[in-house]
Structure 1
Amino acid sequence: MTISLLPDIAGALEWARKRINAVDARLLLRHVLQCPASRLVGFPESRLDPAQWSEFRALVERRAAGEPVAYLVGERAFYGYDLVVTPAVLIPRPDTELLVELALAHFGDKPGARVLDLGTGSGALAVALALELPGAEVTAVDRSREALLVAMANAARLGASVSFVLSDWFSALEGDRFQLIVANPPYIAASDPHLEQGDLRFEPQTALASGPEGLDDLAQIATEAPHHLEAGGWLFMEHGYDQASRVRSLLTDAGFASIASHRDLAGIERVTGGQWLAR
């Protein structure tokens, strides 16, 4: 009789690397074993039990079919905070952390700022800003009820004080004004072939695509934001790698001042913002 032995950590990773990349394999195995990276390195001879091996194989096959690792493990780090993510929300990306940095640069020394996060998704921006800005009064909106539930769970999990509102951009905020508005809206052209590639295939399309040029939501936010900003308040919007000039024009047309684009870690103009001065 032949006895099939369960693999040890080294063997499981070797099997997985024939199907997916090594980084993803290690992340998935850490998730299954609920262990730090040091265990994979320090105890490669540790053997998986039947349930762990079965779960790991299933996750590897799903990753090989294209499912994002963040959805498979149910979380993604953003600005040093571990956030729950589900297929109901966009996966937080490092580029978006630039919005947090800009907010801190402008309001880090101003306690109690009124902040609005438009299209909060997982709540990444709202949670980070609530935790990083002292005494900030943070409001987060999203048109998706499912996304808001994820964001609310993240705020509760991390102890962030955030008010959540079901709203299609500013529609449920009549009369509300803020000192800072941040947004990472959909900005991919609806016909962009990248929407059918990689992780984007599995993310909510309503959080990715916005009209024939990807500018519809950016234009709407730029136009409506002045009605919800206090005098001297700021608007910062993330956008595509080739949209900075167009977004600067949108802010100019809307009457903003001090308009500038800011580069991400790759040197790409990723966020554009401006200040609203009362007329």
Structure 2
Amino acid sequence: MADTALRDAARRLAAVSDTPRLDAELLLAHALGISRERLLLAGADAPPPGFAGLVARRLAHEPVAYITGTRAFWTIELAVGPGVLVPRPDSETLLAAALAHFGESGPASVLDLGTGSGALLLAALDQWPAARGLGVDRSDAALAVARGNAARLGLADRAEFVAGDWAAAIDRRFDLVLCNPPYVEADAALSPDVSLYEPATALFAGPDGLDAYRVLMPQLVRLIAAGGIAAVEIGATQAGAVAALAAAAGLPATCHRDLAGRDRCLVLYPA
């Protein structure tokens, strides 16, 4: 019966999702209180009564991560919910670029600007057990989620989270600076999954999507330690414009692409 329910849910979810079978599996596993891996290996006799309600929420475009309350990212599992951006696989490009630069030895200090759920910072600290980090966000709700994630992952002793307006109040340098700022144009058309549920302040950045970078670049130049880097997420068509802003601030840049071959991360080097 569970397999029939999965097939039916996937068929219905195809109207709102590019990954309907995956969505159905994640929702059924959540309803059963087990992992998706266990569901695929052991199966289930029948879907619980709550499964239909979860499917209905997804049919209303609510992101799966908000429905289940969790999202896998890099090597960690994060709690997420309304008020924080859902971590995307695209953002893992920043960590891959940092790993390529530092190798297994890693950075000693990490700064994550606009930390949200804490995804980038906590993934970096999980990757490099000797590192310590600071996450900054202007949202108290996001900071509460990030602190909760740090505690659940056993990283609270190495991760500090503070309220702030980007790096305006920070006066020290870090080996690795991570940042996934808002970079969507104000009039851009987004999918209902995003526009109806995710926080606009984490998405939109003025008419051309570059407002956050204009603030960040002059700050980043004083934050990167010698031998370190900043890894900054960009929109797929923004590499040239953001690199020009970085160059004007005295920061040479190289571009890294995500797994789909799209420009996704600028790595910035101290002058």
- The TM-score with structure 1 as length reference comes to 0.88
Q: Number of paired residues? A: 262
| Contact kept? 1:108, 1:133, Cα under 8 Å | no
**Alpha-carbon distance, 1:42 to partner:** 4.4
For 1:189-268, what aligned pairs fall within 5 Å after superposition?
A: 189-194=185-190, 197-257=192-252, 259-268=253-262
Shift of 1:148: 0.7
Please report how far the alpha carbon of residue 121 of structure 1 lies from its aligned counterpart in structure 2 after TM superposition: 0.7
Deviation at 1:80, TM superposition (A): 2.3
1:205-236, CA deviations, whole angstroms, 9 ceiling, x for partnerless residues? 10011011100101211111112233343222
Give the deviation of 1:261 after TM superposition: 0.6
Give the equivalent residue in structure 1 for 2:135: 140
Which residue identity does 2:238 align to in structure 1? Q
Q: Give the drift of 1:273.
A: 1.9
Residue pair 2:107, 2:175 contacting (<8 A) in 1 also: no
Alpha-carbon distance in 1 for matches of 2:219, 2:138: 16
Residue identity matched to 1:268: R
Q: What is the CA RMSD across the aligned residues, in angstroms?
A: 1.8
Name the residue aligned to 1:114. Answer: 109
**Distance in 2 between the 1:41 and 1:113 partners?**
40
Shift of 1:40: 5.2
Q: Aligned-pair distance for 1:182? A: 1.1
Q: Which residue of 2 aligns with 1:9?
A: 2
Contact residue 231 and residue 265 of structure 2 kept, 8 A: yes
- Aligned partners of 1:238 and 1:270 also within 8 Å: yes
Q: Report if the CA contact (8 A) 1:104-1:133 is conserved.
A: no
Question: Is 1:158–2:153 an aligned residue pair?
Answer: yes
Equivalence for 1:33: 32
TM-score by length of 2: 0.90
Of structures 1 and 2, the one with the larger relative CO (CA 8 A, separation 6+) is: 2
Q: Is it true that 1:184 corresponds to 2:177 in the alignment? A: no
Aligned partners of 1:136 and 1:244: how far apart in 2? 29
* Structure 1: unaligned runs, 5 residues or longer: 1-7
CA offset digits 1:71-99 (Å, max 9, x no partner): 00000100021110111111111111111
Cα distance in 1 for partners of 2:41, 2:131 equals: 42
* Other-structure match for 1:3: none
1:62 and 2:61 equivalent? Answer: no
Query: CA shift at 1:101, angstroms?
Result: 1.4
Task: Provide the C-alpha distance between the structure 1 equivalents of 2:269 and 2:22, rounded to a whole number of angstroms.
Answer: 42
SS state of the match for residue 172, structure 2?
coil
SS across alignment from 2:12: coil
Question: Take 2:10 and 2:127, find their aligned partners in 1: how far apart are those partners?
Answer: 38
1:143-174: per-residue Cα shift (whole Å, max 9, x none)?
1010011111111111122111111101232x
Q: Tell me by how many angstroms 1:247 deviates.
A: 1.1
* Post-superposition offset of 1:9: 1.1
Counterpart in 2 of 1:19?
Answer: 12
Paired residue for 1:73? 68
Ranges in structure 2 where 5+ consecutive residues have no aligned partner: 14-19
Structure 1 or 2, whichever has the larger Rg, is 1
Offset at residue 102 of structure 1 (A): 1.6
Contact 1:112 1:134 in 2 (8 A): no
Instruction: Give SS of 1:235's match.
Output: strand
Tell me the distance in 2 between the aligned counterparts of 1:263 and 1:140: 24
Q: Distance in 1 between matches of 2:42 and 2:109?
A: 48
1:17–1:268: structure 2 CA closer, same or farther, 3 Å change rule?
closer
Distance in 1 separating the partners of 2:203 and 2:119: 16
One of 150, 165, 169 as aligned partner of 1:172: 169
